[in-house]
Amino acid sequence: MLQWALSLEVEDDGAKISQFCFLPSFAPPFCDANLFCSQKDWTQNSSLVVVLNPGANAGSVPDGAKMPPQQRRRRSVAGIDQDELVEPDALADPDSSFYEINGVRLHHKVCSPEDKDKSSDQSLDNTVSDAGQSLIGLPILLLHGFGASVFSWSRVMRPLSRIARAKVLAFDRPAFGLTSRTTWSSDDTKPLNPYSMAFSVMVTLAFIDYLGAEKAVLVGHSAGCLVAVDAYFEAPERVAALVLVAPAIFAPRKTVKENKPGEPDRQTQKVPNDGNLPPNLFARVWGGFLELWKHIAGFVLKMITVIRDLVRFLYLKALVAFLQSPLGVILVRWVMDKFGILGVRNAWYDPSKVTDHDIQGYTKPLRSKGWETALIQHTISMIVDSASMSRVSISKRLSEISCPVLVVTGDTDRIVPAWNAERLAHAIPGATFEAIKCCGHLPQEERPQEFLSVVERFLRTVFGTPNEQMFQAAV
């Protein structure tokens, strides 16, 4: 692979920092609106100068003067002009709503069974059976995945409301979609980091109250499944059922084997000891040596744990500091520009079927002010949360779930393998597993009819009338 030696110089009020690294071939990164970039022709030894304070660059553009056209370079991310960013609510659709919680304006949409939306696909409504019209009467909350928004549910919201005969609500989690971007730091007096998992869980439960319901069905997609499951553990009495779509939850392997009937417990089985045997001097010496070695080994393991935790702490501090720096913003913009649209296409079984409408739906939030800093804060929160020693992994609590659960995925998911979803279903007591054929990571978008059929069948089995349940069992 061809590589360049990149010299990166950061200037802030005259202070300069130079850093050298090796990067593969790529177009020069874009810069923040408050950054002024200048560079020479890219050769094997390239240089990029980032000036944090344009006024400190005495030989630059005078105040009030415009840069010559040849020096002015339009910046874009995934085709979105970054010179024309607006507030998120300015991008709202006619059916958009906002609900403020702890100073965060949460963008959401609500569909009711009686709503008529001419823009929706009427053929999807026709896939809903008449029997589905007498179903649960419980609202459904839709939780999107990383990098997605309410848009990812647009094909199935109205049909789902007809299936449930109740309202269906989808909201943009903080850092995504059109939910407001807020600044937050560890020194903030706000009760919760708006970009944390705990905040998303609180918002999920708050939206159940918002709909005037005691409980709801939670439908999560990808990373949204983490929010759904966490919300269940936070308030299991508020969750009627879980639907996990292409869940980004690591499924544990079975490590404990159950003993066969009549077989002694392996953990309690001991070698018989004849108390009539005389004490053996060698055995006592050897036993003392083993006891000493056990204490030494325990001390060494504790030291290794302390060193490991220290290294992890320092690594996390360095990573967080980098992400919060101007270089972190540049990196996020570069990644989204190079891989954002590619990631959407790769999530489909057949990338050629991704339309311009789909791409626009995913890139629309890139037109909102502060999208990159919010994404960085969300990423930092995920890193810190996953490294927390006090947090019990969801994978270790799956066996505690007692509500009805459906795990559905595409059989050709390149983001989260289908085998992981199937293993996850096996780890949850009584869970139902469904794999949609010729489908990738986005069943609700790529195969909406099949997705709706699977969800309706599950809900009818769980919440339908006794006659319907008997019919489903017979089928």
Confidence at residue 73, expressed as pLDDT on a 0 to 100 scale: 43
Residue 400's Cβ-count burial label (10 Å; 0-12, 13-18, 19+) is exposed
What span, in angstroms and rounded, lies between the C-alpha atoms of 223 and 321? 25
- Structure-token match 């061809």, residue found: 2
Instruction: Please tell me whether residue 263 adopts helix, strand or coil conformation.
Output: coil
> How remote is the C-alpha of 345 from its chain's centroid?
18
Specify the 3-state DSSP secondary structure of 421.
Answer: helix
Q: What's the length of the chain?
A: 475
Dihedral through CA 85, CA 88, CA 92, CA 97, nearest 10? -170
Nearest 10 degrees: Cα torsion 199, 204, 208, 214: -90
Q: Is the dihedral of CA 324, 328, 333, 338 positive or negative?
A: negative
User: Residue ranges of the chain with pLDDT lower than 50?
Assistant: 1-63, 65, 67-74, 118-119, 131-134, 255-261, 263-275, 277, 390, 466-475
Cα–Cα distance, 22 to 1 (Å, whole number): 11
Q: Give the Cβ contact number of residue 428 at 10 Å.
A: 24
How much is the pLDDT for 280? 65
Please state the φ and ψ torsions of residue 22, each to the nearest 5 degrees. -110, 130
Alpha carbons 328 and 325: distance in angstroms, whole number? 5
221: phi then psi, degrees, rounded to nearest 5: -120, 130
Give the predicted TM-score (pTM) of the model: 0.72
What pLDDT score was predicted for residue 265? 45
418: alpha, beta or left, given left = phi > 0 and alpha = psi -120 to 50?
alpha
Give the integer Cα–Cα distance in Å for 307 and 314.
Answer: 11
Q: How far apart are CA 90 and CA 431, in angstroms?
A: 42
Distance, CA of 372 to CA of 340 (rounded, Å): 13
Ranges of each domain in the chain: 3-73, 88-253+390-474
> What single letter denotes the amino acid at residue 436?
I
Give the pLDDT score at 408: 98
Compute the C-alpha angle 385/393/315, nearest 5°.
Answer: 40
Return the closest-CA partner of residue 355 out of 344, 340, 368. Answer: 344
- Surface-to-core class of residue 16, CB atoms within 10 Å of its CB (0-12 exposed, 13-18 middle, 19+ buried): exposed
Strand partners, 305: none
22 backbone φψ class: left, alpha, beta (φ>0; ψ -120 to 50)? beta
Domain 88-253+390-474 has CATH 3.40.50.1820: yes
Using a 10 angstrom Cβ sphere, with 0-12 exposed, 13-18 middle and 19 or more buried, the burial of residue 359 is middle
| Beta-bridge partners for 433 | 407
| Per-residue tokens: 372 | 């990159």
Looking at residue 54, its pLDDT comes to 40
Task: Please check whether residue 368 is in contact with residue 178, taking contact to mean a CB–CB distance below 8 angstroms.
Answer: yes
Q: Which amino acid is at 402?
A: S
CA distance 334 to 78: 9
